[in-house]
């Protein structure tokens, strides 16, 4: 099997991507559980039945969207947590990176925030699995740092989860400021930075 696609499969993937894009846009003002199959095909400009050539259901489409929205983030996570500099510099850099990501992919961030606790079980599970992977990756990076000496495995995972959740909370806060002015975004960044700082201080004094 080759990674070179014939014009046949290439066209199929193109249509599939059109479905994902259209769905993501429609989902900015509704939830996945109310997204209709016909609604999506109408937005793409194909017949309703074409949908079944790509997905079993809208829930299936949702799971594919989870991969698209979170699958590409893993590399970023690692490099951010393991970045050079002291604690304060890493925090500033992380908050800035979240802000940029929200500006670059607002629909992705909105989708994850909305469907993490949404009404479609397979999608919730897919998001949960990805977030668990994130936590494991963050934990692995934290373990490499000298500040983690003497830490137990479960405490490291606890801290990693705290960071991951904080990342999501910060992301959705930035999301709410997207239609506002720059000053608002600055305020969110400052609060998020202080939250991370407090967590880092807690980490530093965790033992003993």
Partner DNA sequence: AATCCCAGAGAACAGTTGTTAACTGCATGG
Partner DNA sequence: CCATGCAGTTAACAACTGTTCTCTGGGATT
Q: Measure the CA–CA gap between 73 and 31, rounded to whole angstroms.
A: 23
Q: Measure the CA–CA gap between 156 and 154, rounded to whole angstroms.
A: 5
- Rounded least distance, CB 120 to DNA, Å: 13
Residues 59/163/176/195 CA torsion (nearest 10 deg)? 160
Pick from DNA, a second copy, none: which does 69 bind, CB < 5 to 8 A by kind? none
Within residues 9-28, the interface with DNA by CB under 7 A covers: 9, 11-12, 14-15
Contact range with DNA by CB under 7 A, out of 37-45, 134-142, 171-179, 191-199 = 37-45
Contact 17, 40 (CB under 8 A): no
Q: Measure the CA–CA gap between 57 and 55, rounded to whole angstroms.
A: 5
- Rounded least distance, CB 55 to DNA, Å: 9
Nearer to DNA, 22 or 70 (CB): 22
Q: Applying CB under 8 A, which of residues 27, 73, 99, 160 lies at the interface with a second copy?
A: 27
119 binds a second copy (CB under 8 A): yes
Radius of gyration of the chain, Cα coordinates, nearest whole angstrom: 20
Q: Measure the CA–CA gap between 69 and 171, rounded to whole angstroms.
A: 13
Nearest to 116 by CA among 74, 70, 56: 70
38 binds DNA (CB under 7 A): yes
Pick from a second copy, DNA, none: which does 183 bind, CB < 5 to 8 A by kind? none
Q: Applying CB under 7 A, which of residues 7, 29, 84, 144 lies at the interface with DNA?
A: 7
Exposed, middle or buried, 92 (CB in 10 Å: 0-12/13-18/19+)? Answer: middle
Q: Applying CB under 8 A, which of residues 83, 165, 178, 180 lies at the interface with a second copy?
A: 165
Number of residues that bind DNA (CB under 7 A): 24
Using CB under 8 A, list all residues that contact a second copy. Answer: 27, 29-34, 110, 113-114, 116-119, 121, 154-155, 158-159, 161-162, 165, 169, 172, 191, 194-195, 198-206
């Amino acid at each position: 099997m080759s990674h070179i696609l014939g014009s046949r499969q290439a066209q199929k993937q193109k249509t599939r991507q059109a479905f994902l894009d259209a769905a993501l846009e429609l989902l900015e003002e509704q939830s996945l559980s109310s997204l209709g199959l016909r609604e999506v095909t109408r937005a793409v400009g194909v017949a309703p039945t074409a949908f079944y050539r790509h997905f079993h259901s809208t829930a299936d489409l949702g799971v594919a969207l989870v991969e698209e929205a979170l699958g590409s983030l893993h590399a970023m996570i690692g490099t951010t947590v393991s970045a050079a500099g002291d604690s304060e510099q890493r925090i500033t850099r992380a908050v800035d990176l979240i802000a940029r990501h929200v500006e670059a992919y607002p629909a992705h961030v909105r989708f994850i925030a909305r469907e993490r606790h949404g009404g479609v079980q397979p999608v919730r599970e897919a998001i949960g699995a990805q977030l668990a992977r994130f936590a494991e990756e963050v934990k692995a990076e934290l373990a490499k740092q000298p500040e983690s000496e003497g830490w137990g495995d479960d405490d490291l995972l606890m801290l990693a989860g705290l960071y991951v959740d904080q990342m999501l909370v910060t992301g959705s806060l930035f999301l709410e400021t997207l239609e506002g002015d720059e000053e608002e975004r600055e305020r969110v960044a400052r609060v998020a930075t202080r939250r991370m700082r407090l967590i880092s201080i807690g980490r530093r004094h965790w033992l003993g």
